[in-house]
Amino acid sequence: MKVGILGDGLVSLALAKTLVNEGIFVDLFYREDIKTINKTRTIGITKTNIEFFNKKILDISKLLWKIDKIEIFLEKFKNKKILNFDRNNKQLFSIIKNYKLYELLNKSLKGNKFFKRKKILPNKILYDDSYKIIINCDPKNLLTKKFFYKSTKKNYESIAYVSIIKHKKILRNNIAYQIFSKYGPIAFLPISEFETSIVYSVKKRYKLTESRIVALIKKYNPKYRVTKIEKVENFELISSNLRTYYHNNIMAFGDLLHRIHPLAGQGFNMSIRDLMQLNEIIQSRISLGLDIDNSIFSEFEKKIKHKNYIFSSGVDFIYEFFNLESNLKNNKLGKIIRFFGKNKSITNFFTKLADDGI
């Protein structure tokens, strides 16, 4: 059989690699008008998802920078640490540069007898009977506009600014920092002994310039002796959950299914969990000698849709909770968070939830 995949991003390539590993022929359709992948973007991948990625997709161990602790601070609480997540110096998650992962996935697919790249025009709809199933990972093609436009959406009225700071060597640069500033949450995510990724979600109403963003990165810098700040890129923050996952033999996937606030760094992790579930369904069909057709879509939606909605709603709740705290004139919520943060059972629960999902 042959599967058509629309899109040329990380999720599309990871999906393609998973399918070809199962001996399924894949045609990946790409549009030349898509911008090149941003070199300042990074993603966090949880320990459980890394294990799946390495085993079922591709070994990415050499590209990962391990994080074994997360420390959370409130600016309003005089920059005191209010939460601490760790597993006794064991890995919590890892950071990887987007473009490095993209290049590795591309390289692994190049020359594979089960895989072909095909160019598609921006205004063309792929609807070919030669594909039993088509999986759409492209949010801007005409199929998306025709079949996958109904979703619950939320505009955070915020912009995420991303960059990489280069700094003096830190031998154990393995602690991630999240600071809830009055402008929004800023995360410092180590990616090497000399580099740390920045994700700063700023509310639009402050109308901050790029130079001001750079100044704030320096202000909230927890410990780094910065030598250079790479170009700052930005994108708007919107969350969404698709109401219907498929139409006939076409299924939406990746960011089309769900987009969440980057606060918890769980967007790509949700897609990997989706891929894990889809792979399980496909493997089950293959082992029983059954055909891989659009009936797998309804099974996938039934198993994963409610989990995705609950998880994304949870991330949104965390954002709104800390947003409320930053707008209050007292520190009562901060003190409550700090009190519960001392309870190891509670922090262990949230650590496991972030790793395994729901």
pLDDT score recorded for residue 128 = 59
In this model, does residue 122 exceed pLDDT 60?
no
How many CB atoms neighbour CB 303 within 10 A? 14
How much of the chain is in helix, strand and coil states, percent to nearest 5?
A: 40, 30, 30
Confidence tier at 318 by pLDDT (50, 70, 90)? confident
Confidence tier at 264 by pLDDT (50, 70, 90)? confident
Least confident range from 105-109, 215-219, 352-356: namely: 352-356
**Contact call for residues 29 and 4 (beta carbons, < 8 A):** yes
For 22-81, the pLDDT digits (tens) are 999 999 998 876 666 778 899 999 999 999 999 999 999 999 999 999 998 888 766 677
Least confident range from 123-137, 148-162, 185-199: namely: 123-137
pLDDT score recorded for residue 265 = 80
Q: Which two tokens stand for residue 274?
A: 């989706």
Round to whole Å and give the CA distance between 138 and 276. 20
Q: What is the mean pLDDT of residues 159-182?
A: 93
Which residues contact residue 307 at a Cβ distance below 8 angstroms, ignoring those fewer than 6 apart? 273, 357, 358
Q: What is the mean pLDDT of residues 115-144?
A: 80
CA atoms within a 13 Å half-sphere pointing along the CA-CB vector of 249:
15
Least confident range from 129-138, 235-244, 272-281: namely: 129-138
Question: What's this model's pTM, rounded to 2 decimal places?
Answer: 0.91
Q: Residue 218: which CATH number? A: 3.50.50.60
Q: What is the mean pLDDT of residues 198-226?
A: 94
pLDDT score recorded for residue 323 = 77
Q: What is the overall mean pLDDT for the chain?
A: 88
Strands 2-6 and 133-136: parallel
Alpha carbon 148 to chain centroid, angstroms:
20
Q: What is the mean pLDDT of residues 229-244?
A: 94
In the chain, at which residue ranges do the beta strands (DSSP E only) sit? Answer: 2-6, 25-30, 42-46, 65-67, 69-74, 80-86, 93-97, 115-119, 133-136, 151-167, 175-181, 184-190, 195-203, 226-229, 233-242, 246-247, 250-252, 258-259
DSSP-derived 3-state class of residue 195: strand
320-331: buried (b, 16+ CB within 10 Å) or exposed (e) per residue?
A: eebbebbeeeeb
pLDDT score recorded for residue 39 = 84
Can you name the residues that pair with 118 across neighbouring β-strands? 29
- Total domain count for the chain? 1
Least confident range from 71-75, 89-93, 132-136, 315-319: namely: 89-93
In angstroms, what CA-CA distances link 234 with 5, 40, 111, 252? 27, 10, 35, 25
Q: Which two tokens stand for residue 287?
A: 């082992």
pLDDT score recorded for residue 125 = 58
| Phi, psi (deg, nearest 5) at residue 250 | -120, 130
Q: Which two tokens stand for residue 336?
A: 């409550």
How many CB atoms neighbour CB 142 within 10 A? 14
Q: Which domain holds residue 33?
A: 2-356
Helix axis angle for 98-109 and 10-21, nearest 10°, is: 30
CA atoms within a 13 Å half-sphere pointing along the CA-CB vector of 187:
21
pLDDT score recorded for residue 347 = 65
Can you name the residues that pair with 199 across neighbouring β-strands? 162, 187
